[in-house]
Amino acid sequence: MVFAIEEINNSTELLPGIKLGYQIHDSCAAVPVAVHVAFQLLNTLDPVFVTGDNCSQSGMVMAVVGESGSTPSISISRVIGSFDIPLVSHFATCACLSDKQKYPSFFRTIPSDQFQADALAKLIKHFGWTWIGAVCSDSDYGNNGMAAFLHAAQKEGICVEYSESFYRSHPHSRIKRVADVIRRSTAVVVVAFTASTEMMILLEELSHEPSPPRQWIGSESWVTDPDMLRFSFCAGTIGFAIQRSVIPGLRDFLLDLSPSKVASSPVLTEFWEDSFNCRLGKGERMCDGSEDIMTLQSPYTDTSELRITNMVYKAVYAIAHAIHNAVCQDTNATTRCSKFTTINPKQVLAQLKTVNFSQNGYAVSFDTNGDPVASYELINWKKSGSGSIEVVPVGYYDASLPEGQEFRIFRDITWVDGRTQVWGK
């Protein structure tokens, strides 16, 4: 997000002469914290944006990027939507958020789960599976996603042996019961519409007493999570993922960390101390300046699998384009913007509905529900020569293509237990 804002602030084409200010809050994946932040944002409704060359610290918030989850996004949208403040999410996928009567100021750069549910049902039908099991997170994301999937599966003639839900805070007995249902079932294909946290808990439980081989079909929340790949008994998993992307310049930006920049940020300080096992303040094992981030192998420095990151990037640019369209005039080859033009969130909201641009080759626009065009990569968990599991793209699903042409497979799939033929029918 900071990278995108700094790019925009240095641009001579998008909002030239105008600097975007920002605040970043950590919701700690907790709805009460997210709602508290939403009310904090509403308390800064000062119409003054510019004080000299700097942003006003109490200037009115024009838009919000977030949240990562559907449940907190629902809560935040209910709070700020009454004030016409747009909320542009990068990872909240619940189809319920497409309801403009309830969430009139909500937009997202990630597809609605309605599209994913339809795609999963078509995928299962494509491979000839008619008898499956299903598990989901007991949350807005999981329950709504599973309901949409079950409806789509019924239309495709797919029978469901069981549908179980669970949540990270449920007692162990509940998790064990779900695992036992999977172990004892006759369905060998299991659709998991879960968040990564719930899937991790379930697979941990299954690893203690492995079930017979199961063909897992995953939702986008967990199927590309690198922390999940240690569960080798899930090799052969297939599922839909947000498309892998390239953001030029991001890796250099991430690696450009001076000691002063690290020290000024609690997040970067925690990252630095954990990565190099030293302390920047007082204490034992003080950082001595010999730490070299270039040698670090971590999710922070790895920009080869940018998926949700690009959704954040596009969300920031969407808001910037909306503000640009509200305060700038494009005439011939010149763009004139006035940083003293008074705008309000309602104007940004109106402009967001009509944004249509391309950034690094990725198109950004919203339909009448605030949703983008839905497209996914079909990925497969394949075992490498060393025995580790790798996430490999094997196809795609594009909802904008004509009926019957949305789904395409361009690479052989490796199934559970290393089989090369479709299994579980």
What is the rounded distance in angstroms from the CA atom of residue 402 to the CA atom of residue 254? 40
- Cis status, amide bond into 67, omega within 30 of 0: yes
**pTM across the whole model:** 0.92
Residues paired with residue 134 on neighbouring β-strands, in sequence order: 163, 191
Residue range 291-337, pLDDT digits in tens: 899 888 888 888 988 999 999 999 999 999 999 999 998 888 888 89
Q: Please check the confidence at residue 69 and state whether its pLDDT lies above 60.
A: yes
The residue type found at 134 is A
In which band, very low, low, confident or very high, does the pLDDT at 205 lie, cut at 50, 70 and 90?
A: very high
- Cis status, amide bond into 403, omega within 30 of 0: no
What is the rounded distance in angstroms from the CA atom of residue 218 to the CA atom of residue 384? 20
Give 263 or 191, the one with higher predicted confidence: 191
Closest CA to 425 of 104, 106, 186: 186
Question: Which pLDDT does position 215 carry in this prediction?
Answer: 97
Question: Which pLDDT does position 222 carry in this prediction?
Answer: 97
What is the rounded distance in angstroms from the CA atom of residue 22 to the CA atom of residue 2? 9
Which range has the worst mean pLDDT, 52-56, 133-137, 239-243, 415-419? 52-56
**Pairing outcome for strands 356-359 and 362-365:** antiparallel
The residue type found at 233 is F
Give 242 or 42, the one with higher predicted confidence: 242
In which band, very low, low, confident or very high, does the pLDDT at 93 lie, cut at 50, 70 and 90?
A: very high
Read off the pLDDT of each residue in 242-269 and give the average, rounded to a whole number: 91
In which band, very low, low, confident or very high, does the pLDDT at 417 lie, cut at 50, 70 and 90?
A: confident
The tokens 């063909």 sit on which residue? 215
Closest CA to 223 of 237, 236, 243, 206: 237
Q: Which residues of 296-312 are buried (b: 16+ CB within 10 A; e: fewer)?
A: eeeeeeebeebbbbbbb
Contact 359/312 with Cβ under 8 angstroms? no
Question: Which pLDDT does position 58 carry in this prediction?
Answer: 55
Residues paired with residue 193 on neighbouring β-strands, in sequence order: 136
Q: Please check the confidence at residue 45 and state whether its pLDDT lies above 90.
A: no
Which range has the worst mean pLDDT, 28-42, 97-111, 114-128? 28-42
Token pair for 308: 């949700």
Instruction: Calculate ∠ Cα 24-168-90, nearest 5°.
Output: 35
Which range has the worst mean pLDDT, 44-53, 113-122, 206-215? 44-53
Token pair for 162: 């069981």
Q: Please check the confidence at residue 263 and state whether its pLDDT lies above 90.
A: no
Question: Which pLDDT does position 418 carry in this prediction?
Answer: 84
What is the rounded distance in angstroms from the CA atom of residue 386 to the CA atom of residue 50? 57
Q: Please check the confidence at residue 48 and state whether its pLDDT lies above 60.
A: no
Question: Which pLDDT does position 259 carry in this prediction?
Answer: 77
What is the rounded distance in angstroms from the CA atom of residue 338 to the CA atom of residue 327? 6
Q: Please check the confidence at residue 46 and state whether its pLDDT lies above 60.
A: no
Instruction: Calculate ∠ Cα 111-114-120, nearest 5°.
Output: 95
CA distances from 383 to 27, 230, 235, 317, 318 (A): 36, 11, 7, 37, 38
What is the rounded distance in angstroms from the CA atom of residue 128 to the CA atom of residue 234? 20
Question: Which pLDDT does position 218 carry in this prediction?
Answer: 98
